[in-house]
Structure 1
Amino acid sequence: MVTSIGGLSSGIDTTSLINSLIQAESAPQTALKTKVSDYTTSNSAYQTVNGKMKALLTASQDLTKADSWKAAKATSTSTDVAATASTGAQTGDMTFSVTKLANAHRLTAAFAATDTPAVTDGSSFDLTVGTGPDATTTTLSLDDDANTPQGVANAINKANLGVRASVVTTDSGPVLQIASGKTGAANTFTLSGLTTDPKVMTAGSDAELTVGDPSAGGFKVSSPGNTFTGVMPGVTITANKLANNVTVGVNNDTEAIAAKMQALVDAANGSLAQISLSSAAGVSSSSGAKPTGGPLSGDYTVRQLSSQMLSSVSNGKGGFGSFKQLGVQLTQDGKLQFNKDDFLKAYAEDPAKVQDAVSNGLAKSLESVSTAATDSVSGTLTQKIQSGTTMISRLNKEISDWDLKLADRRSALQRQFASMESALSKISSQSNWLSSQTAASNSNGS
């Protein structure tokens, strides 16, 4: 450890002098730190633009997929019947009546008292779930000293067979109530071996739709629940109440497609706006002042992206013409504008032609531009970001090396000045001794 005398002998403020020398010698490191700051700022700007271009890639790919143009919307003429359509649902309609709703099977068995024996043999009973050849019978055993209505309920619930039971206290005594956990005729059940014959409170039944007159070419469709799938391809129908003459229709969801077009235009405008902000030309606030502009001012890569996006719109598509026919055009300030009404009108007149113009024209062109920019390996923005990250890492390594050099230089200067102060201190001490000797000699001579 170097101890500085701090100029006690020389009168020089050696600490301040060393700091000044180190500051002067650290100029190259300061320049490196400035470069790191510049690269960090530009890298952040590239990443922001890259994020906007990825959003454009997603929006454009959404319209190059065939399924995006198969969006369907289902409607129902009754508030008691809901209908939804999945992608690819076939257009058309169907009129029907909801003639039955699905019910869960329920049985009850009344007993005189809570301690009344509930099982004939005192130890077990049979529970049969299902009907016909699909029926399954399970023998359930009671816990010790549990030949009671509650004991039967516990055995049923413990078996976990899709049937639940509970004991309800009534004015006439306890009632064992058993219900299926699912609706439908296939989920009915029976109990045998009880001291009281169970009564059917609600018979398990399927929901039913009736189309026309079954005796004159019509038909019925049943479902274990109140939701029907597959009656119309890609359509789900849910009945909430009995209803007559309900019409469910399926049409192309042009509103959904128009929304995707708007999303594409918004994503393109978002990218253009970010590029414009990041690459804005520098302007001097006063004579001789350094111009201040965007972090990517004058950068060819991002300016080219902007030019390519605008060209994708202005060039239209061969064999189709201007995208203005789709409601998409450029504004005077270099933005995209979308007119939903124009798009819907064009799509209604010729859906296939419009789909081709977008999927293989507008959206395809913007997809190509955004892919070339954001590809994880060859993307122009990706390479810029990777190059900047590598440069920042290298510069930070050089800065760290300078920290060691400057630390060594400070230690060396501290040793040099400490040696100088020590030498001056000795000289001063010797000078004082000589002065005292001379004074003593003169005094003796007198």
Structure 2
Amino acid sequence: MAGSTVDGLVSGLSTSSLISQLMQVERVPQTQLKSKVTAQEKLQSSFQAINTKLAALKTAAEDMTKSTSWQPATATSSSTSVTPTTTAGATTGSVTFDVLSTAKAQVSTVTFASATDPALASGATKVSIAIGTAAAVDVDVTTNTPQGVADAINAKGLDVRASVLTTDQGTVLQLTSTKTGTAAGFEITGLASDPVDLVPAKDAQVRVGDANGAHYTVTSGSNAITGLLAGTTINVTKEETGVTVTVAQDKEAIAGKMQAFVDSVNAVLTEIGTQTSYNASAKTKQPLAGNSTVRQIAQTVLGQVGTGQTDYGSFAQLGIELDRYGKLTFDREEFLKAYEADPAKVQNAMAAEDPSIPPRLDAEGKTLPQTQVSGVMGLAARLKVIASNSTESVTNAVNGSKSLVTDLNKRIEDWDLRLEKRETALRRQFTNLEVSLGKLQQQSTWLAGQISSLPTVSSE
């Protein structure tokens, strides 16, 4: 409240109520400004919802323009002990091999009669550990017991870990390499007795070909073998002969990416439809109803699908069509049939770029995103450009709305000061009115007293 008033003590009027009603009228312009702010915030939310879907479309379209997306491979093995995994662009083919050995981490032990026995050689205060071909590292030991040695080794942070075990044979200091393979094998000197290798360090090795004839081997410090098939890692777990790994193109994975692409297009169209809808029966509309920017985006997307590609024709040939509801449909079987018949042609219909469109460069000479499309381009290549352009347009619209809201909020703040002054003035006026009425009432009372005190004039 801007001030206080004497609420109708003289006039009997509800002064506060009158001021409140008058201020409601005064606040109408500010209330209208606040309504505009609310409307703009809803507009921004709608724009941002569409931008989220456009970003997803751009990502899906970019994925379909990458050559690696058209070369996914799936690997199978004839043995459950061998597990192949592929990376993008893996070479298709088949290889049969023998697993001659699996990789193992070295485990060495030293046995002591008790946990308090001296663990170091006579007169020694440290042990030295040499891992692989690296120079030996000295480890100072402050407590000359098996546990003291283990603690000192572990504190050094080497690729050898130590532990003390209580066994039927006595106290055992166990040393274990944290890595497999001969390159991770180690030697330790300075202990009271020489360690015994329970598990020697060992590499994994596979052989391709006849052991008694032409063959080659591949050796690895881990059980993950690479080099037999480009882009494929073969994990082995036991020695075995005659294992066959086959890597074949994964057409279903490509079809799955196509479905994701179509879904992302439909998500944009659906979101635009939602944000621009009008309910005739309820006479309500969404924030972007009638907005030309987003409607143009939908029309552009649908237009690109409907025009097909130069020298290829309708995208219906690869299973993509428009339905009567203005959405895309995807026929997976039709796509697989077309892809199996001519993979390169289908890939071109989706991912082809237009070399005749010159690249855009920024001030530093870096390539900027493409902004033009042509009939030569594949569908995904076009929609990648359109999604990028549309995102920029929508972002500009959001930024324009935010600038307007900033201006509106400044005007609302100005109105706060103006209304505060107006309310103060009204309270002052009504207070002065009550004071003036009070004075008049006092004068009236005095005058009435004076009149009543006059002598009565007799008519006799």
Deviations 1:383-431 (A, max 9, x none): 2111111112211221221222122111112111221221121111111
Q: Aligned residue for 2:435?
A: 422
- Amino acid corresponding to residue 370 of structure 1 in structure 2: A
Q: Aligned residue for 1:41?
A: 42
* Contact 2:125–2:142 (Cα < 8 Å) also in 1: no
Q: Distance in 1 between matches of 2:40 and 2:115?
A: 83
Q: Aligned residue for 2:252?
A: 255
Residue 299 of structure 1: CA displacement?
A: 1.5
Q: 1:5 to 1:278 in 2, by over 3 A?
A: same
Q: Which moved more, 1:386-395 or 1:435-444?
A: 435-444
- SS across alignment from 2:161: strand
- Amino acid corresponding to residue 339 of structure 1 in structure 2: D
Q: Aligned residue for 1:24?
A: 25
Q: Aligned residue for 1:315?
A: 307
- With normalisation by structure 2, the TM-score equals 0.87
Pairing 1:366–2:390 present: no
Q: Aligned residue for 1:391?
A: 404
Q: Distance in 2 between matches of 1:405 and 1:155?
A: 77
- Amino acid corresponding to residue 429 of structure 1 in structure 2: Q
Residue 154 of structure 1: CA displacement?
A: 4.5
Q: Distance in 1 between matches of 2:111 and 2:123?
A: 17
- With normalisation by structure 1, the TM-score equals 0.89
Q: Aligned residue for 1:109?
A: 110
Q: 1:347 to 1:433 in 2, by over 3 A?
A: same
Q: 1:430 to 1:318 in 2, by over 3 A?
A: same
- Amino acid corresponding to residue 44 of structure 2 in structure 1: N
- Amino acid corresponding to residue 295 of structure 2 in structure 1: R
Q: Distance in 2 between matches of 1:123 and 1:293?
A: 87
Q: 1:32 to 1:114 in 2, by over 3 A?
A: closer
Q: Distance in 2 between matches of 1:47 and 1:139?
A: 62
Pairing 1:94–2:95 present: yes
1:215-226 equivalences in 2 (<5 Å): 215-226=212-223
Q: 1:23 to 1:73 in 2, by over 3 A?
A: same
Unpaired segments of 5 or more residues in structure 1? Answer: 286-290
- SS across alignment from 1:74: strand
Deviations 1:272-301 (A, max 9, x none): 11111111235254xxxxx32222111111
Q: Aligned residue for 2:358?
A: none
1:231-250 equivalences in 2 (<5 Å): 231-250=228-247
Unpaired segments of 5 or more residues in structure 2? Answer: 353-377
Q: Aligned residue for 1:343?
A: 335
Q: Percent identity?
A: 42
- SS across alignment from 2:7: coil
Q: Aligned residue for 2:159?
A: 162
Residue 181 of structure 1: CA displacement?
A: 2.5
Pairing 1:190–2:187 present: yes
Residue 207 of structure 1: CA displacement?
A: 1.0
- SS across alignment from 1:136: coil
Q: 1:427 to 1:99 in 2, by over 3 A?
A: same
Equivalent of 1:353 in 331, 345, 363: 345
Q: Distance in 1 between matches of 2:15 and 2:116?
A: 103
* Contact 1:129–1:187 (Cα < 8 Å) also in 2: no
* Contact 1:127–1:189 (Cα < 8 Å) also in 2: no
Q: 1:5 to 1:348 in 2, by over 3 A?
A: same
Residue 119 of structure 1: CA displacement?
A: 4.3
- Amino acid corresponding to residue 164 of structure 1 in structure 2: R
Pairing 1:73–2:74 present: yes
Deviations 1:109-168 (A, max 9, x none): 34445455554433157645356xx26344555436x2x545554554444442333343
Q: Aligned residue for 1:143?
A: 142
- Amino acid corresponding to residue 53 of structure 1 in structure 2: L
Q: Aligned residue for 1:10?
A: 11
Q: 1:108 to 1:279 in 2, by over 3 A?
A: closer
Residue 216 of structure 1: CA displacement?
A: 1.5
Q: 1:188 to 1:38 in 2, by over 3 A?
A: closer
- SS across alignment from 1:211: strand
In terms of fraction of residues, the more helix-rich structure is 1
- SS across alignment from 1:231: coil
* Contact 1:128–1:135 (Cα < 8 Å) also in 2: no
* Contact 2:19–2:427 (Cα < 8 Å) also in 1: yes
Q: Cα RMSD over matched residues? A: 2.4
* Contact 1:143–1:151 (Cα < 8 Å) also in 2: yes
* Contact 1:123–1:141 (Cα < 8 Å) also in 2: no
* Contact 1:282–1:297 (Cα < 8 Å) also in 2: no
Q: Aligned residue for 1:327?
A: 319
- Amino acid corresponding to residue 207 of structure 1 in structure 2: A
Q: Aligned residue for 2:453?
A: 440
* Contact 2:209–2:215 (Cα < 8 Å) also in 1: yes
- Amino acid corresponding to residue 325 of structure 2 in structure 1: D
Pairing 1:204–2:221 present: no
- Amino acid corresponding to residue 379 of structure 2 in structure 1: L
- Amino acid corresponding to residue 340 of structure 2 in structure 1: A
Q: Aligned residue for 2:364?
A: none
Pairing 1:400–2:397 present: no
Q: 1:340 to 1:155 in 2, by over 3 A?
A: same
Q: Aligned residue for 2:372?
A: none
Q: Distance in 2 between matches of 1:212 and 1:82?
A: 20
* Contact 1:104–1:180 (Cα < 8 Å) also in 2: yes
Q: Distance in 1 between matches of 2:335 and 2:4?
A: 82
